[in-house]
C-alpha cells in the first residue's frame, strides 16, 4: 500500500477494559523480522488504503503479474511484515478462582466428569478460559471440555473462551472442528460480531502460542457462508496484523464468489493475491480462466492457459474443459474442437466432461449430425458415455421433434444399463409431443412410475404442448391444472404454449383465463399478447369481457401506466384495431 501524505494518529485499542501491550510479531533476529524501520499506522487509515474492491489492481497489473514467473514461487506461510501483534494481558486466577481452576483441571485429567458436574454451577467465562488455557496442549480434552460447558453452562462461554479453543484446534490442524464452532458462533451473533471475534483471536494469539491458521479458518468460514463483506474485512484485518491467508483459503473465497456469479470481485481478489505475493495453484488459475470465460474474455483465458506452464503450473483437464465450455457458450464450436485437439497433443486425454461439453454445444446450435459424430469419436477412444451424454442427445433430437433418433439413443442407453432419470424421459416425451403423438408420450409417463421418477414442470409443459399441437387447448389447460395440483410450478414457456394455442384457435375467453393465471403467479405480461387478446374479444363483440379483463389487470398493476390511461379513453382499450 501507499502511505498517506500526513502521518495518521495511532490506532485506538478496540478493547478498553484492560491495558494493551504491543509486542513485536518476531524477535529482532528472526527470519520474519524486518531489517528497516517499523511503521505503525492507524487501523482506519490502513483499512482505507488496503484491499477494497474499488481500488484493486487494474487488468494491466494482473497481466504484468501473470507475465512475471517469479511471483508464482511458493511462499512460506508466516508473517511477512513488521506490524506488531497486540496482546491483551490475561489476569492470573487468584484465591477461589485459582483453587477452582486447579480442582477442575484435576478432575479433567482424571476424566472424572461426575465430580466436575458438581462444580458446573460455579463456572463463569473467566474460569472456563483459564481451564482451557491450562489444557490447551491436549486438543481432544479441550474440545470435550468446551462442548461439555456448552451443554452444562452455556452462559459461561464468551468470545474469549471460543477464541482459546479455536487457537487450540487450528494449532493441531483440526480445521473441520474449528470451522464447525465458527459457523455456530457466526450464525447466532450480531452485526459487529465478525470484527470483535477477530479481535478476540488476535489479542489471545500470543497467549495461546497460536499460528496464522486460526485466521485462515475464520476467513474460510466466511467464504463458505457466502459472507463476502465479512471475508473481505477479515482479509484486511489479517493484512493489518501481518498475516496472509494461504492459497487454499483464497481458493475457497474465489469459489464461493463464482458460485454466486461475482466474477468481477473474484478477478479483483486474484489481483490482490498476486500483489500480496500469495502464490496461486492450478486450481486458482482454473477459476481465473472460468472468470475470463464467463465475462466473455476468451482470449485472456487462452492466454493464461498458454502461460501456465511458463509460470510453473501444468494445465489439467479442468483447465481445457473450462475453456471449451466458454467457447461453446459463445457458439465458437470450431475453436472449441481445436482446443480438444490441443488438449490431446499436450498429453491430456479428453474425458467424458470434454465430450459432453462439445455435444451440448453442437446440440444447442442445432448441429445434431456433428453432435452424433462427437458421440461416435467418444466411443472410438474408449470414453464411456454417461447419463448426461445420452440426455443431451435425446433432448437435442427431441427439441427438433425427431423422436426416432431420440428413441435410438434411449434404446442404446437401456442396452448398456445406463441409469435413466427424469431428463431422459422429458426429452423423449417432448420429441413425441412435438409430433402430436400424445398416446405414445403417455406411455413414457407411465414408465416414470416404474422407474420411481416424479414428473416435473418440464414434463407437464411437454404434455401441454402435445395437446396444443393437436389444437386441443382446453385439454392442455386441464393438464395445467393437474400440474398445479401436483405441486409443480409453471414457467413462462408453459404459459406461452397455452396462450399461443388459444389465440390460434381464436378462443380469446380461454386466452383471458391464461392471462389471469399469469397475473396470479406474477409472470410478466407481454403487451403484444394483451393487445391481441383484447382486440380479439372486441372483434367477437365481447366488449364488456374485455373491459373487465383490463380493469382486473389494472387492479393488480399488471399493465403499464400509459396503457392504463389509454384503456380508459376508447373502446379499443388503447390499442389500434386489429383485423382477425
Using 50, 70 and 90 to split pLDDT, how confident is the model at 568?
very low
Q: What is the pLDDT of residues 189-242, one digit of tens each?
A: 666 788 889 999 999 999 999 999 999 999 999 999 999 999 999 999 999 888
Residue of 125, 126, 120, 117 whose CA lies nearest to 98: 126
Question: Domain-by-domain residue ranges, the chain?
Answer: 95-173, 316-384, 406-505, 511-580
Averaged confidence pLDDT in the chain: 82
pLDDT at residue number 318: 97
CA distance 178 to 184: 10
Q: Does domain 406-505 have CATH number 3.40.50.300?
A: no
22 forms beta bridges with 86
As a whole number of Å, the CA-based R_g of the chain is 33
Could you tell me what percent of the chain has a pLDDT over 70? 80
SS3 state of residue 23: strand
Return the H-helix or E-strand segment holding 215.
helix 213-224
Cell of 427: 426429452
Report the 10 Å Cβ neighbour count for 17: 6
Calculate the alpha carbon distances from 416 to 387, 419, 451 in Å: 11, 9, 16
pLDDT tens readout for residues 125-179: 999 999 999 999 999 999 999 999 999 988 889 999 999 999 999 999 999 999 9
To which H or E segment does residue 497 belong? helix 492-504
- Tens-digit pLDDT profile for residues 64-111: 343 343 333 333 334 454 456 776 767 788 889 899 999 999 999 999
Q: At what angle do helices 228-240 and 247-259 cross, to 10 degrees?
A: 160
Nearest to 553 by CA among 579, 504, 514: 514
Residue 558's pLDDT band (cuts 50, 70, 90): low
Amino acid at each position: 500500500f501507499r502511505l498517506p501524505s500526513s502521518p495518521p494518529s495511532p490506532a485506538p485499542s478496540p478493547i478498553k477494559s484492560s491495558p494493551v501491550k504491543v509486542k513485536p510479531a518476531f524477535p529482532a533476529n528472526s527470519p520474519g523480522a524486518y531489517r528497516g524501520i517499523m511503521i505503525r499506522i492507524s487501523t482506519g487509515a490502513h483499512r482505507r488504503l488496503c484491499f477494497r474492491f474499488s481500488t484493486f489492481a487494474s487488468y494491466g497489473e494482473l497481466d504484468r503479474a501473470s507475465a512475471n514467473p517469479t511471483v508464482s514461487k511458493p511462499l512460506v506461510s508466516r508473517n511477512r511484515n513488521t506490524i506488531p501483534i497486540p496482546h491483551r494481558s490475561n489476569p492470573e486466577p487468584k484465591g477461589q478462582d485459582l483453587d477452582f481452576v486447579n480442582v477442575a483441571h484435576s478432575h479433567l485429567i482424571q476424566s472424572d466428569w461426575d465430580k466436575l458436574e458438581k462444580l458446573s454451577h460455579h463456572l463463569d467465562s473467566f474460569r472456563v478460559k483459564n481451564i482451557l488455557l491450562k489444557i490447551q496442549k491436549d486438543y481432544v480434552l479441550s474440545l470435550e471440555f468446551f462442548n461439555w460447558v456448552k451443554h452444562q453452562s452455556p452462559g459461561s462461554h464468551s468470545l474469549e473462551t471460543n477464541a482459546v479453543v479455536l487457537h487450540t484446534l487450528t494449532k493441531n490442524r483440526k480445521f473441520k472442528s474449528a470451522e464447525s464452532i465458527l459457523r455456530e458462533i457466526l450464525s447466532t451473533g450480531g452485526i459487529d460480531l465478525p470484527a470483535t471475534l477477530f479481535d478476540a483471536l488476535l489479542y489471545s494469539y500470543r497467549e495461546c502460542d497460536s499460528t496464522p491458521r486460526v485466521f485462515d479458518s475464520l476467513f474460510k468460514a466466511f467464504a463458505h457462508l457466502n459472507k463476502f463483506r465479512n471475508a473481505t474485512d477479515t482479509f484486511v484485518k489479517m493484512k493489518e496484523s501481518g498475516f496472509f491467508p494461504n492459497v487454499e483459503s483464497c481458493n475457497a473465497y474465489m469459489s464461493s464468489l463464482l458460485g454466486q456469479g461475482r466474477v468481477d470481485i473474484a478477478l479483483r481478489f486474484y489481483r490482490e493475491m498476486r500483489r500480496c505475493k500469495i502464490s496461486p495453484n492450478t486450481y486458482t488459475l482454473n477459476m481465473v480462466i472460468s472468470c475470463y470465460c464467463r465475462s466473455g474474455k476468451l482470449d485472456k483465458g487462452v492466454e493464461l492457459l498458454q502461460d501456465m506452464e511458463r509460470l510453473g503450473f501444468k494445465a489439467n483437464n479442468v483447465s481445457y474443459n473450462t475453456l471449451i465450455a466458454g467457447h461453446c457458450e459463445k457458439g465458437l464450436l470450431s475453436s472449441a474442437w481445436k482446443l480438444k485437439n490441443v488438449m490431446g497433443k499436450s498429453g491430456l486425454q479428453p474425458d467424458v466432461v470434454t465430450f459432453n461439453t462439445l455435444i451440448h454445444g453442437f446440440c444447442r446450435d442445432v448441429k445434431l449430425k456433428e453432435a452424433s459424430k462427437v458421440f461416435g469419436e467418444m466411443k472410438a477412444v474408449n470414453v464411456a458415455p454417461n447419463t448426461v451424454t445420452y440426455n443431451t442427445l435425446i433432448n437435442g433430437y427431441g427439441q427438433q421433434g425427431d423422436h426416432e433418433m431420440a428413441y435410438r439413443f434411449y434404446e442404446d442407453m437401456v442396452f448398456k444399463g445406463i441409469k435413466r432419470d427424469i431428463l431422459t424421459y422429458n426429452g423423449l416425451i417432448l420429441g413425441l409431443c412435438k409430433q402430436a403423438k400424445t398416446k405414445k408420450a403417455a406411455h413414457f409417463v407411465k414408465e416414470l412410475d416404474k422407474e420411481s421418477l416424479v414428473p416435473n414442470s418440464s414434463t407437464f409443459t411437454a404434455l401441454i404442448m402435445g395437446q396444443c399441437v393437436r389444437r386441443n387447448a382446453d385439454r392442455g389447460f386441464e393438464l395445467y391444472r393437474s400440474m398445479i395440483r401436483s405441486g409443480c410450478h409453471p414457467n413462462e414457456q408453459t404459459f406461452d404454449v397455452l396462450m399461443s394455442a388459444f389465440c390460434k384457435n381464436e378462443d380469446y375467453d380461454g386466452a383471458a383465463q391464461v392471462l389471469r393465471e399469469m397475473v396470479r403467479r406474477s409472470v410478466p405480461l407481454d403487451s403484444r399478447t394483451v393487445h391481441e387478446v383484447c382486440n380479439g374479444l372486441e372483434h367477437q363483440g365481447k366488449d364488456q369481457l374485455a373491459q373487465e379483463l383490463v380493469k382486473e389487470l389494472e387492479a393488480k398493476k399488471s399493465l403499464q401506466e400509459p396503457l392504463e390511461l389509454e384503456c380508459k379513453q376508447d373502446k379499443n382499450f388503447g390499442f389500434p384495431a386489429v383485423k382477425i
